[in-house]
Amino acid sequence: MRRLKVAGQVASVGLVGALLVLLVWKVVQNDRTNVASSFTKGHVTKPVDFDLSRLNGNGKLQLSSLRGKVVVVNFWASWCEPCKSEAPRFQQAFKRYGNRVAFVGVDTADYSSDAGRFLSRYGVTYPNVRDPDRTVLGKYGGLPIPRTFVISPNWQVSGYIFGEARSEELDSAIQKALGA
Amino acid sequence: MRRAAVAVALLALVAVPVARASEDHPTSMEVQQELFCDDCQTTLADASSVSWTPAAIHQINQMISEGYRKSQIKSALAKKYVGHLRELPAKPASNRPSLSDLEGEIMCPVCSTTLDQSDSPIAQRMKADISRRIAAGQSKQEIKDAMVAEFGQQILAAPPKKGFNLLAWVLPIVLLLGGALVLGLLAWRWSHAREPSPPAARLSPALERRVDEELARFDEG
């Protein structure tokens, strides 16, 4: 009886310990894979790759296929008010920078039909992909949106704008990446 | 097998006259629920913001009072308001899912709550979409499938009861039964450990005699 009691106590302590280790591991892991958090803390941050279906076009787009260029990744949704204000600025920047900078819009937690209408309404022509269940957004910091990341040609995150991107902020982040 | 056939027959005995009554003597609401307003993207029953809807409802009420059947009324209204109103298939009300049912089973993708707890723009958009699908005669499962196709599996408040997700349903029951078993075993061991101990060995005759003498002396004293 006493042996059973001791075994039960050891098992309980072991279980609590294992859960604690799991919790710490999850927190550390989350922090490492969250691009926004890692970049804000000043760490050298690599962008998390994704391969998502295109919203305005066929097939998929893989972020790493753009390696070697300056890439602007903008997370948005049709229901997000600041996204509506910043959308024309991204389109203008896309036209202004031409082939020097690649733009990728990531529509998240949204109806595809609403997202399509959003692109038409704001005349967005650069590639946009869908992240319907927020899997990719989660790795870049999660809600709220918009969030914009600028990736330099050496494949590191060199700029991050949380919230509505102003033209000057966007330009400054792109210029920094072009000079990197 | 025979019981199932009897149950189906009994159900048919009840359902057929009800459907017949609904067709021959419809209520205004029944007719409105089977007419879809294209201008408002809801059934006529839920439409409130279009100028011609009061006149349409008035016509429904008048035709009911004149004894027209439901299919005749629906057909007449769809012809009169062509491009604005169309007929929906008749469906037993009990089979039609309700918005409140689905709101509790579908998550808002941005607020980590079910739709009924959220008033965010995307939640409102989803509620309107669900209402439109209900009005179009889609089943609960069809609506859930459409939501999963748009937003992924995580949009369901409860995981589907199949594949790996089945674990989420089975594991709590297994743990509960396992816990009960362990408790039962412990209780059984505990009760057996407390069984009365066997009576002490009898005293030897000499010792017994001595105890009796001592007791007698004690009583005398």
A4 close contact with B: CB closer than 8 A: yes
B151 close contact with A: CB closer than 8 A: yes
- Torsions phi, psi of A32, nearest 5? -70, -40
B24 touches B69 (CB < 8 A) = yes
pLDDT of residue A3: 75
CA distance A98 to chain B (A): 32
- Write the pLDDT tens digit of every residue in A58-93: 999 999 999 999 999 999 999 999 999 999 999 999
Q: Pairing state of beta strands A51-53 and A101-108?
A: unpaired
pLDDT of residue A9: 80
- Gap between the Cα atoms of A163 and A151, Å rounded: 17
What are residue B123's DSSP bridge partners? none
CA distance B94 to chain A (A): 29
Judging contacts by C-beta atoms under 8 Å, the chain B residues touching residue A110 are: 122
Task: State how many domains chain B has.
Answer: 2
How many helices, marked H, and strands, marked E, lie in chain B? 9, 3
What are residue A156's DSSP bridge partners? none
Do B16 and B71 share a domain, yes or no?
yes
Amino acid at B72: Q
State the best of A78, A79, A114 to mutate against chain B, taking most chain B CBs within 10 Å.
Answer: A79
Domain membership flag for residue B188: no
Which pair of structure tokens corresponds to residue A175? 């210029």
pLDDT exceeds cutoff 90 at B149: yes
Judging contacts by C-beta atoms under 8 Å, the chain B residues touching residue A114 are: 125
Do B10 and B29 share a domain, yes or no?
yes
Instruction: Please identify, among B155, B171, B193, the residue that sits at the C-terminal boundary of a domain.
Output: B155
B99 touches B53 (CB < 8 A) = no
pLDDT of residue A11: 83
**Rg from Cα positions in chain A:** 21
CA distance A28 to chain B (A): 22
Structure-model confidence comparison of residues A85 and B193, the more confident one: A85
pTM: 0.64
Do B89 and B102 share a domain, yes or no?
no
pLDDT exceeds cutoff 60 at B157: yes
B153 close contact with A: CB closer than 8 A: yes
- Torsions phi, psi of B141, nearest 5? -65, -40
Do B118 and B88 share a domain, yes or no?
no
- Write the pLDDT tens digit of every residue in A88-115: 999 999 999 999 999 999 999 999 999 9
- CA–CA distances in Å: residue A3 to residues A6, A8, A10, A65, A116: 5, 9, 11, 61, 67
Do B109 and B42 share a domain, yes or no?
no
Do B137 and B123 share a domain, yes or no?
yes
Amino acid at A30: N
Mean pLDDT computed over A156-172: 97
B141 touches B101 (CB < 8 A) = no
Cis peptide before A144 (omega within 30 of 0): yes
Residue B34's CATH number:
1.10.8.640
Mean pLDDT computed over A164-179: 96
Domain membership flag for residue B180: no
Mean pLDDT computed over A143-158: 96
ipTM reported for the complex, 2 dp: 0.77
Candidate from B125, B154, B193 with C-beta closest to A79: B125
**A1/B110 CB distance under 8 A:** no
B209 close contact with A: CB closer than 8 A: no
Do B67 and B126 share a domain, yes or no?
no
Mean pLDDT computed over B131-155: 91
- Gap between the Cα atoms of A106 and A118, Å rounded: 13
Q: Pairing state of beta strands A147-151 and A157-162?
A: antiparallel
| Of the candidates A54, A80, A76, the residue with the CA atom closest to the CA atom of residue A65 | A54
Angle B53-65/B70-80 helices, nearest 10 degrees? 150
pLDDT of residue B137: 83
- Torsions phi, psi of A22, nearest 5? -60, -40
pLDDT of residue B101: 86
pLDDT exceeds cutoff 50 at B32: yes
Task: Please provide the average confidence, as pLDDT, over all residues in chain A.
Answer: 92
pLDDT exceeds cutoff 60 at B12: no
| Of the candidates A95, A100, A105, A106, the residue with the CA atom closest to the CA atom of residue A152 | A100
pLDDT of residue B158: 87
The CATH topology of domain A35-179 is Glutaredoxin (3.40.30)
- Write the pLDDT tens digit of every residue in B65-91: 999 999 999 999 999 999 888 888 776
- Gap between the Cα atoms of B122 and B128, Å rounded: 10
**A109/B110 CB distance under 8 A:** yes
Domain membership flag for residue B189: no
Sign of torsion, CA B87 B93 B95 B100? Answer: positive
Mean pLDDT computed over B97-121: 92
pLDDT of residue A138: 94
Domain membership flag for residue B211: no
- Quickly state the pLDDT bin for B1 (edges 50, 70, 90): very low
What is the DSSP track for A28-48? HHHHHH-HHHHHHTT---PPP
Percent of chain A with pLDDT over 90: 79
Residues 6+ apart with CB under 8 A from B171: none
pLDDT exceeds cutoff 50 at B4: yes
**B150/A133 CB distance under 8 A:** no
Instruction: Please identify, among B68, B94, B120, the residue that sits at the C-terminal boundary of a domain.
Output: B94
Instruction: Please identify, among B44, B67, B94, the residue that sits at the C-terminal boundary of a domain.
Output: B94
- Quickly state the pLDDT bin for B191 (edges 50, 70, 90): confident
Q: Where are the domains of chain A?
A: 35-179
Judging contacts by C-beta atoms under 8 Å, the chain B residues touching residue A141 are: none
- Gap between the Cα atoms of A38 and A14, Å rounded: 32
pLDDT of residue B110: 92
A77 close contact with B: CB closer than 8 A: yes
Percent of chain A with pLDDT over 70: 94
Please list the alpha-helical segments (H only) found in chain A.
2-33, 35-40, 81-97, 112-121, 135-139, 167-179
Mean pLDDT computed over B156-176: 79
A53 close contact with B: CB closer than 8 A: no
B47 touches B40 (CB < 8 A) = yes
Judging contacts by C-beta atoms under 8 Å, the chain A residues touching residue B121 are: 79
B126-145 residues touching A, CB cutoff 8 A: 129
What domain range is B80 assigned to? 2-94
- Quickly state the pLDDT bin for A1 (edges 50, 70, 90): low
Do B63 and B121 share a domain, yes or no?
no
pLDDT of residue A47: 97
Q: What number of residues does chain A have?
A: 180
Domain membership flag for residue B108: yes
Percent of chain B with pLDDT over 70: 80
